[in-house]
Structure 1
Amino acid sequence: CPQVASLVDPNQLFGLSTAEPGQFFVNVRFDGILGLGYPNLAADGITPVFDNLVNRSLLRESLFSVYL
């Protein structure tokens, strides 16, 4: 069941990538890719995880941030 921090949506659909072209992912350690794009950019019409969390009122605000 997909989880972001302590937020869980057991009905979230997700895609699985078993191979990525090019060298970028060969040289970088990562645990996965989390799509935070707009729903109209989503593959196969799947609602992105952030939008599902907002739609299900699991977030206090429709806002996220990234710390680099």
Structure 2
Amino acid sequence: MLERAGFRVLLTVTTTILSLNRALAWTLYATRLTYNVSISYTLTSYIIRLFSIRWSLIIPIIWIKRAL
């Protein structure tokens, strides 16, 4: 009877540890995914800004050349 109770405690502790491990793994995965998305978004917005700045410099030059 005592062995059976010890086994149940061990099983409960093991199950709890595995569940916490899984929850921690999902949390870390979600955090990493969020981090990757934010980095990707930042990179995309940087590229868009870069092209916007270039076009805002090029378009007036084209207009000036056409006017001349």
Pairwise TM-score range, normalised by the shorter structure: under 0.3
TM-score for both structures, normalised by structure 1: 0.18
* Structure with greater proportional helix content: 2
Higher gyration radius (CA): 2
**Counting strand residues as a fraction of each chain, which structure ranks higher?**
1
